[in-house]
């Protein structure tokens, strides 16, 4: 079967790393038809399109979206992030952001294989709020956080299902229930209720500030973590940093209900400072493509790709892509 993949290389190093990721997927024997979408900061500067409803409609007909990175220093913060990335997450209902940390960096002997499940459609990301008397000394800015029972519950249930399927069967809720008492209470109660459906899963709770200490000092305590959108954003950068660097951190923006395509992207950004130098590590994009293969039912290819990424590889972006692809050709 040939999968229809929409490719958004985006800005900066995005197109470079996505090119290597597609090379590796091809080498893994997965049949696909890739269609390029010219979107991101550079496209916006050219003709003003961020993500039109027409383009979004076209994207809906694909099996998956592979994205490199978007954002460019010439465009004010938020325009591309909200208008492209978050618009896809919200409109395609990609309510799970799954970010595995495999600990495959040199010197890490599989030290902490854990995964963060980040809620991806609510919290402070919804853009609720506003500003009054802008630019005056009486300026007021509010930024709300939306947490719905439905949104919290479907995220927590997904995390329990994932934890139940893993060897350790351990799930930690991370929040800030001692300060964010309204949202925290909804998350904790929902967590406790859903836990009853999964008696084999051991559970724990950490405040997000304490979780930052454990990520650095004792990551072995974690198997699966579930958390809200903003805490998940911050914690997964830290997760990348403590498990070999952001150049290895992959992510899947999932619509588990499969009412549309899911989107796969490295956690890192467009890194305009190193574009064209060959310094970008394509491994995060390659591992994101492995997550895509999993979601498309190509589990053998996904596992082979992950295996091929565990051997340390040196060199330029293209060298690393070629080396990983070459390991797969041997299968």
Is residue 47 flagged as an active site residue? Answer: no
Is residue 158 flagged as an active site residue? Answer: no
DSSP secondary structure letters along 77-130: TTHHIIIIIIHHHHHTT--EEEEEE---STT-SS---EEEEEE-SSBGGG--EE
Rounded to whole angstroms, the Cα distance separating 326 from 331 reads 10
Residue 113 as a binder of Mn ion (CB under 5 A): the answer is: no
Residue 93 as a binder of ligand IPM (CB under 6 A): the answer is: no
Closer residue to Mn ion, CB minimum distance, 68 or 321: 68
* Least distance to ligand IPM, CB of residue 267, Å: 6
Closer residue to ligand IPM, CB minimum distance, 93 or 319: 93
Q: Which of 19, 26, 60, 81 binds ligand IPM (CB under 6 A)?
A: 81
Q: Which of 25, 84, 85, 325 binds ligand IPM (CB under 6 A)?
A: 85
Q: Residue with CB nearest ligand IPM?
A: 81
Is residue 23 flagged as an active site residue? Answer: no
Is residue 237 flagged as an active site residue? Answer: yes
Helix (H, G, I), strand (E, B) or coil at 133: coil
Residue 294 as a binder of ligand IPM (CB under 6 A): the answer is: no
- Helix (H) / strand (E) element for 185: namely helix 181-195
Cα separations (Å) of 139 from 38, 130, 134, 135, 268? 38, 11, 5, 6, 33
Rounded to whole angstroms, the Cα distance separating 268 from 255 reads 21
Is residue 125 flagged as an active site residue? Answer: yes
Given the residues 11, 23, 176, 223, the one annotated as active site: 176
Residue 67 as a binder of ligand IPM (CB under 6 A): the answer is: no
Give the one entry of Mn ion, ligand IPM, none that residue 307 binds, where binding means its C-beta sits below a cut-off of 5 to 8 angstroms depending on kind: none
Q: Which of 16, 233, 265, 294 binds Mn ion (CB under 5 A)?
A: 233
Residue 197: how many other CB atoms lie within 10 Å: 11
**CB-based burial, 51-77: b 16+ in 10 Å, e otherwise:** beeebeeebeebbbbbbbbbbbeebee
Residue 188: how many other CB atoms lie within 10 Å: 16
Give the one entry of ligand IPM, Mn ion, none that residue 96 binds, where binding means its C-beta sits below a cut-off of 5 to 8 angstroms depending on kind: none
Footprint of ligand IPM on 210-249 (CB under 6 A): 233
Residue 113 as a binder of ligand IPM (CB under 6 A): the answer is: no
Rounded to whole angstroms, the Cα distance separating 282 from 181 reads 41
Residues marked as catalytic: 125, 176, 209, 233, 237
Footprint of ligand IPM (CB under 6 A):
81, 85, 233, 267
């Amino acid at each position: 079967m040939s999968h229809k993949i929409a490719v958004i290389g985006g800005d900066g190093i995005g197109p470079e790393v996505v090119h290597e990721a597609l090379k590796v997927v091809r080498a893994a024997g997965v049949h696909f038809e890739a269609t390029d979408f010219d979107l991101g900061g550079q496209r916006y500067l050219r003709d003003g399109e961020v993500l039109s409803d027409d383009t979004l409609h076209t994207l809906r007909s694909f099996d998956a979206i592979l994205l490199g990175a978007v954002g460019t220093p010439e465009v004010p913060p938020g325009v591309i992030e909200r208008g492209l990335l978050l618009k896809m997450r919200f409109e395609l209902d990609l309510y799970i952001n799954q970010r595995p940390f495999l600990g495959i960096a040199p010197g890490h002997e599989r030290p902490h294989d854990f995964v963060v499940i980040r809620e991806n459609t609510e919290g402070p990301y919804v853009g609720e709020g506003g500003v009054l008397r802008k630019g005056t000394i009486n300026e007021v800015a509010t930024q709300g956080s939306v947490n719905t029972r439905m949104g919290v519950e479907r995220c927590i249930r997904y995390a329990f299902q994932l934890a139940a399927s893993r060897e350790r069967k351990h799930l930690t809720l991370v929040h800030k229930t001692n300060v964010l008492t309204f949202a925290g209470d909804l998350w904790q109660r929902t967590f406790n209720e859903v836990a009853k459906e999964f008696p084999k899963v051991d559970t724990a709770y950490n405040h997000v500030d304490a979780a930052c200490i454990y990520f650095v000092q004792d990551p072995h305590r974690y198997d699966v973590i579930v958390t809200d959108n903003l805490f998940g954003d911050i914690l997964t950068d830290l997760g990348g940093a403590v498990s070999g660097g952001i150049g290895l951190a992959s992510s899947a923006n999932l619509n588990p209900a499969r009412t549309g395509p899911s989107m796969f992207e490295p956690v890192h950004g467009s890194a305009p400072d190193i574009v064209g130098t060959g310094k970008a590590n394509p491994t995060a994009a390659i591992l994101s493509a492995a997550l895509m293969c999993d979601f498309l039912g190509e589990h053998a290819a996904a596992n082979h790709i992950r295996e091929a990424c565990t051997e340390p590889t040196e060199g330029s972006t293209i060298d690393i892509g070629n080396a990983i692809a070459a390991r797969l050709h041997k299968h």
